[in-house]
Amino acid sequence: MKLIIDGHPITAKYGQTLLDLAKQLGLVKGKLSTDPIVAKFAGKIFTLNYRPVTKNPDEEIIEVKAAVKAAKGKVKLIRYSDPLGKEAYTRTAQFIIFLAMNRLWPNAQTKMSCSVGAGLYFKVIGAEDFCEKKLKNEVKKIVEEDLVLKRKTTSTKAAIENFAKKGQHDKARLLFYREVKTLDLYEHGDFADYFYGEMAPSTSFLRSWDILPADGGFEFIFPDSLNPDKPSPPPALPNLLSVYTEGKRWCELMECETVADLNELVDSGNVRELIRVNEALHEKRFSQIADQICARGCKAVLLSGPSSSGKTTSANRLATQLRVHGKKPILMSLDDYYIDREKIQPGPDGKIDLEHINTIDTSLFKNNLQDLLSGKEVELPIFNFKKEKREWVGRKLKLNENSVIIIEGLHALNPELLPKDVNTNLVFKLYVSPLLPLNLDDHNRIPANYLRLLRRTVRDYETRNSSVQKTLSMWDSVRRGEERWIFPYQENADVIFNSSTIYELAVLKKHIFPLLTQVKPSDECYDDVRAMVKILNFVHQADVDDEIPPTSLVREFIGGNAFYNKH
């Protein structure tokens, strides 16, 4: 069978794996920066241990597998630089870490906590003599053993019984909601675990990492994003970690730490109380933020956050709380400071990067902000998106004693937007992001960007007539823009607001599942959709839209948002 692997033709023989073929082509050199981790073809992700050519057991006739035929022999190798490669690398790291913990402290409980920057946090319970150095040495040993990571198909019922027997009740409870009768486990010796996607072909592919001490457990350090052949510097993101920790604490208090917990609340009807508590927490937090703004005497709020964080609703809810203080909030958008499209120089690819800071007239914004804070009257621009030009329509603004402007935008926390001599006490910086603390089970967290992608897919379809395929085709570009223009400045915020709600997945499922099931295997985004569906398959749908208030952040995505309807 002739394959085309990354553009290189090669004949696959019976028994050869994709890894064998990649090595034969000279594409495996022992470096994370260049080596493949998994492969993609026929719209799906496959392990490099996959054998394209097999033998019919009855007739002993060599056959080409169906997925290879469907892809017409074209195989794309996925590396760490690709988000799909990072996800496979993460799953590989998780398996090795939990295997090491099982070897050293078999009776301890290890839980995934959260991912902050290049750090993945784990909580350890019941290991009195726990030592991260001992764990690090065991992980090194497993990496050096070069254990082949193979999947074994087993019945879901048998897996549930096995996990329950070994005390992994969180995983047993989650698999109870799995409708498919079989599943693929990764095993080594008497240790088995279930992860929601492919891994690297063997443990030796875990090449750049570190393990550091952390409160209540340890921190796993991922490869450096700029140089994957070495571990990243330890992330210094105390504010973001604090918000995640607070979210985890609320999950514990509301007895909803995993998807299985959420399903039980949905089935019992108690999800309605969970919604009420979640919404009350958000309202209390917006009130506290307004208190801080007023206590400092701030005249401007710079509000930023990644895509689908609920920035618009957050700005409006904050405005409501400021009115409680007798303030007169004024909403502004950085979008109005876009430079005329025809004046923006395209990049090397001939396209305009609309997420680049150079698309914003930073000089005009800084001058306007300085004048407003100085008490001067300013004429503000309006950007006409249909004409792709800035317009002046006589929109003037002058702040009075009770005025507070709330400026929302992608680049709002970028230092380039602050005037050189501005009184920083007058400017409050707010970062909004849905940092979902809910886990699938103790060993599998829900990716940080998963909730935002669900939100954006539903919103784009409902309000912008955008298909799932179109939304997903833009997602990697959106994430690259966030990595460059948003995340580096999140720690500069005075407050980081967690805009996620613990109940949200159960509500979103009703809105998004019908859209995802329309995507065909032939679509380029099919594997991305499969990854979204894998998680949603475990989530019970909650038909409780009537319980969600019109001012909820969730309403920005499922419809019925009071702040949108007022226009």
CATH of residue 152's domain is 3.30.980.10
Same domain, yes or no: 159 and 129: yes
Least reliable range by pLDDT among 16-30, 136-150, 327-341, 551-565: 551-565
Same domain, yes or no: 395 and 492: yes
Same domain, yes or no: 200 and 227: yes
Domain boundary among 79, 108, 133: 79
Same domain, yes or no: 250 and 292: yes
Same domain, yes or no: 469 and 344: yes
Same domain, yes or no: 228 and 327: no
Q: How far apart are CA 239 and CA 352, in angstroms?
A: 34
So what's the pLDDT on residue 279?
Answer: 96
**Confidence band, pLDDT 50/70/90 cuts, at residue 57:** low
Same domain, yes or no: 65 and 90: no
So what's the pLDDT on residue 58?
Answer: 57
Same domain, yes or no: 49 and 172: no
Domain boundary among 79, 101, 129: 79
**Residue 151 vs residue 502, higher pLDDT:** 502
Phi, psi of 391 (to 5 degrees): -130, 155
Same domain, yes or no: 282 and 227: no
User: Mean pLDDT over all residues of the chain?
Assistant: 92
- Would the CA dihedral through 384, 389, 392, 397 be positive or negative? positive
Question: Mean pLDDT across the stretch 406-412?
Answer: 95
Q: Which domain holds residue 370?
A: 243-565
So what's the pLDDT on residue 567?
Answer: 40
Least reliable range by pLDDT among 245-249, 313-317, 494-498, 550-554: 245-249
Same domain, yes or no: 195 and 303: no
How many helices and strands, by DSSP H and E, does the chain display?
A: 17, 25
Same domain, yes or no: 135 and 183: yes
For 134, half-sphere exposure in the C-beta direction (CA atoms, 13 angstrom radius) is 10
**Confidence band, pLDDT 50/70/90 cuts, at residue 21:** very high
Give how far Cα 227 sits from Cα of 8, 80, 118, 230, 376, Å.
26, 10, 13, 6, 48
Same domain, yes or no: 252 and 397: yes
Give the CATH number for residue 392.
3.40.50.300
Q: What is the pTM of this model?
A: 0.89
Percent of the chain, pLDDT > 90?
75
Task: Give the count of domains, the chain.
Answer: 3
Residue 56 has pLDDT above 80, yes or no: no
Domain boundary among 79, 110, 137: 79
Question: Mean pLDDT across the stretch 73-94?
Answer: 94
